[in-house]
Amino acid sequence: MKLLNHTISYLAAVLFVVITCWAALLYYNLLDEIYDSLDDGLGNYKLLILDRLEEDTTLLSRHSFGEFNYAIKPISGPEVFTHTDVYTDTLMYMKNEKEFEPVRMLITVFQHQGTYYQLRVINTMVETDDLIADLLVSIIWLYLGLLASVLVVNNFLLKKAWTPFYRLVDQLKKFRLEKQETVKYEKTDVEEFKVLNHAVDKLIQNSTATYLSQKQFIENASHELQTPLAISLNKLELLVEENNLNDEQLKLLSSAIQNMERMARLNKSLLLLSKIENKQFVVEEEVSINAIAKEVLEDFEEQAAYKELRIELQENGTCLAQMNPDLANVLHTNLIKNAIVHNHQQGFVNITINPDEIIVENSGSNKALDPQKMFSRFQHESKSASSTGLGLPIVKAIANLYNLQVNYTFQEHHKLILSFAYSYRQKK
């Protein structure tokens, strides 16, 4: 729900409470005004009747209302001493409506030629249930009209005032640190938008500076580490080639060379992971997963032959993906290498390519891996000296970059499924 319309839910509740209270107050005020008007009319009618009695005494014989709005009857006893006017509500049968209708009645006592009489004067009044029904309908229409007016104001008039905000959000959605784009801010007189623009600009500047500093540090650190590692490896290899070393010394040097080679691979893998997470691979194109898988299998032919692995490639269609070609190669290299390295002698690797996914199944340990840890860095169970523990984390990092799904299942064999379908749905 948009912010403009989100406030309507609160406004609607407030309007409902306010209008309800206002309607109740209006109802009682209207009744009070109606009663005042009716009572004034009844009082005036009483005076007119008393004045007419002075000229026409036949009025004293009208003991029932009939076609008149008043009735007079002689009284005696305690009622004689009730001289105050009493206004009351009562019901009277109406022939035209054929039912009892509410009327307002004035009861008073007067004296004429030594005899006391009771005068009752009536006047029809508004039915309260009809008044409530009409008032309720009017209030509902008022409530709906106010809500409709608020919606119109929000979505057509206030929307223009929010234009700087929406344009800023659209730019932030497309903003990428690695591209070092600039954000254009709309000129506005609204103080809150000025504060927001200033805060976003400051945040982008700080983030860009941090990103560039981190990127430069990683590149420099990697370069500075690779050079001494390469020099040290060369010197150790030269030392091994000399013939004046005994077997124990050769064993120690061989172990040192293996550790330094592993360190060099770790350095390259960590640098690659950092570049992936920093989204430094900007170039994208349509790549063929089928072609990349075949190329990777050719690269690992000797290693697979050494472990006597049975490798099968099944193509059920052409799988295409929109991504950086270098990362696509790295992704499938690590995926297939993981299946070969973490395998036992005379095992198998089955690769199935479908139009929207690639499935890599391999033999290996007879127990399932922990899906929560297998994509974490340095979480590996292999005892191989060549394993860095960064193969699957690199696969996961590239998958996250392109909104791909990586799922792991174990049913006697290990199976990794890389799905491209989710990425296509996201782009659409």
pLDDT in tens, 179-225: 777 888 888 888 888 898 889 889 888 888 887 777 777 777 766 77
SS3 324: coil
Residues 6+ apart with CB under 8 A from 361: 339, 349, 350, 351, 352, 413, 414, 415, 416
> Given this model, what pLDDT does residue 49 score?
86
SS3 221: helix
Backbone angles phi, psi at 89, to 5 degrees: -100, 140
> Given this model, what pLDDT does residue 393 score?
85
CA 93/CA 90 separation, integer angstroms: 10
Which one, of 138, 426, 372, 390, lies nearest residue 271 by Cα?
390
Whether the CB-CB separation of 336 and 349 falls below 8 Å is answered with yes
Structure tokens at 121: 């004067």
Backbone angles phi, psi at 64, to 5 degrees: -125, 165
pTM of the predicted model over 0.75? no
> Given this model, what pLDDT does residue 250 score?
79
Q: What would the DSSP string read from start to end of 86-127? A: EEEEEEEEETTTTEEEEEEEEEEEEEETTEEEEEEEEEE---
> Given this model, what pLDDT does residue 424 score?
45
CA 338/CA 335 separation, integer angstroms: 5
> Given this model, what pLDDT does residue 379 score?
60
Whether the CB-CB separation of 374 and 390 falls below 8 Å is answered with no
> Given this model, what pLDDT does residue 293 score?
92
> Given this model, what pLDDT does residue 316 score?
92
Structure tokens at 149: 């007016």
> Given this model, what pLDDT does residue 260 score?
77
CA 334/CA 274 separation, integer angstroms: 16
**Ranges of residues in the chain whose predicted pLDDT is under 70:** 1-5, 79-83, 97, 126-129, 178, 222-223, 243, 277-278, 377-389, 422-428
Task: Write out 47-77 in H/E/C secondary structure.
Answer: HHHHHHHCCCHHHHHCCCCCCCCEEEEECCH
CA 119/CA 101 separation, integer angstroms: 21
What one-letter code names the amino acid at 222? Answer: S
Backbone angles phi, psi at 109, to 5 degrees: -125, 135
Residues 6+ apart with CB under 8 A from 202: none
